[in-house]
Structure 1
Amino acid sequence: MSHGHGPANPGPAGLVALAMACFTFYAVHTGKVDGSCIPLLGIWLIGGFIVQVIVGIMELNHGNIVGGNIFTFFSAFFMFVTGGELIFKFFAAQNGWTIDARIDGWAWLALAIALLTWTPAYFKSPLSLLGVVLALDVAVPVVAFMDLGILGHEWHAVSGNFLGLAGIFGLYTAWGVILNTQFGRTIIPLGGPIVKDQVSVSASK
């Protein structure tokens, strides 16, 4: 059902793709599935890349600097690169190739720093979306430190559970945005932002 010819919010599609990645990594990190799933996970992540790169470009075109940039670099590194690497590493292990995978830790460290330093921008977002980012703020550095060899593999339980939590918050936010927009009123409460626009604050006084 159309609500006009203006551009629609693509965020829910990006959040569903993110939730898919979070749920599948939760399953891997917490031992719900075994290592034989890795090539399939790689393919799912490449599918997520297609969704998120479209969302990122649309968000940037809509003037959303935070969401647009986050979805763009998530699509490239969290989805496409990680998906391709998982497939490559699976076949490398099958063929006995020696790879220094600590380079992944350095890459994830850069992504973790970007995510952590951009987090305050999400204080102006709905609480449910901030919940996604805060959960990732724990999971992504843990992944980086595990890949660097600083943390042991027992930390997979931490990264896995926080990824699962990020996925839940992501799906909840997508659910709310879709239904609230479609019905033109709050069906699913998402929680107000911690930091409100100055105009809104002034108007409420």
Structure 2
Amino acid sequence: MSNNQGGWANPSPAGLVALGVACFTFFALLSGKVTLGAMPLMGCWLIGGFVVQVIVSVIELKEGQIVGGNVFLYFSAFFMLVGGLEFFVKYFAAVQQWSIPLDTHIDGWAWLVLSFCLVMWTPAYFKSTSILSLAVILIDIAVVQVAFLDLGILDPSFKPIAGYALLFAGILAMYLSSALVVNTAYGKTIFPLTKPWITEKPINLQANTAKNTN
């Protein structure tokens, strides 16, 4: 997440709100809370999230935040923009009954790349608050299942599992965005944040200097 060293305000809360919207809407669709008729509207919300997250990614990359900047960048492109556009395509393909049906297995192959990279990048978040680490792990669980669902490897009965993983990730994203905004506004901890799972030990400069002198 942004450390605000480059003169910009921290944009992460807005990116987390967009993530929460995506998580909740995907949960609603995967768990059957809404029908396929919601797909065009869901596409609109995801494209809105794309606008937010691409701005967040540019600011974070400008400030040298390699993890948050890159994750928000490819989330904005593939999860938000591509995901939103695909909902329009899939909806109209079903309504218009296209003569050549969509082969959605291609989505599974693309999701494999996204899920693999997200899982492999996850340890980088272990140095941040454990709330964010847990949210990323829940998203890992969901995107891997979505990839296997689209490939036809997993039975559709797994959809609610992926959906609830996203629901809880969205809740954590909402809390974290609120904590970042409110705590920063008051200059103190109003909403507590958990410690990182991995912390770097402080370097004892005096001991190192004495050792080198000897």
TM-based fold match above 0.5: yes
Q: In the alignment, which residue of structure 1 is the partner of 2:72?
A: 71
Cα drift, residue 73 of structure 1: 0.1
Q: Which of 90, 99, 104 is the aligned partner of 1:101?
A: 104
Question: Structure 1 stretches of 5 or more lacking a match?
Answer: none
Cα drift, residue 110 of structure 1: 0.3
Letter in 2 for 1:150: I
**Counterpart-to-counterpart distance in 2, 1:130 and 1:9:** 19
Q: In the alignment, which residue of structure 2 is the partner of 1:28?
A: 29
Question: Percent identity, aligned pairs only?
Answer: 52
**Counterpart-to-counterpart distance in 2, 1:62 and 1:131:** 24
Question: Structure 2 stretches of 5 or more lacking a match?
Answer: 1-5, 206-214
Q: In the alignment, which residue of structure 2 is the partner of 1:80?
A: 81
Q: Tell me the secondary structure at the aligned position of residue 72 of structure 2.
A: helix
Question: How many residues are matched?
Answer: 198
- Let me know the Cα RMSD of the aligned residues: 1.4
Q: In the alignment, which residue of structure 1 is the partner of 2:7?
A: 6
**TM-score normalised to structure 1 length:** 0.93
Q: In the alignment, which residue of structure 1 is the partner of 2:194?
A: 191
Q: Rate the CA distance shift 1:192–1:99 in 2: closer, same or farther, 3 A.
A: same
Letter in 2 for 1:90: Y
Q: Runs in 1 of length 4+ with deviation above 2 angstroms?
A: none
Letter in 1 for 2:163: G
Cα drift, residue 197 of structure 1: 3.0
**Counterpart-to-counterpart distance in 2, 1:192 and 1:7:** 25
After superposition, give the CA deviation of every residue in 1:114-147 in whole Å (9 maximum; x if it has no partner).
Answer: 0000000000011111121011010000000000
Matched, 1:135 2:138: yes
After superposition, give the CA deviation of every residue in 1:65-91 in whole Å (9 maximum; x if it has no partner).
Answer: 000000000000000000000101100
Please say which structure displays the higher CA radius of gyration: 2
Letter in 1 for 2:142: A
Q: Tell me the secondary structure at the aligned position of residue 142 of structure 1.
A: helix
Q: In the alignment, which residue of structure 2 is the partner of 1:151?
A: 154
Q: Tell me the secondary structure at the aligned position of residue 32 of structure 2.
A: coil
Matched, 1:53 2:49: no
Q: Tell me the secondary structure at the aligned position of residue 7 of structure 1.
A: coil
**TM-score normalised to structure 2 length:** 0.90
**Counterpart-to-counterpart distance in 2, 1:12 and 1:109:** 27
Q: Which of 153, 170, 174 is the aligned partner of 1:171?
A: 174
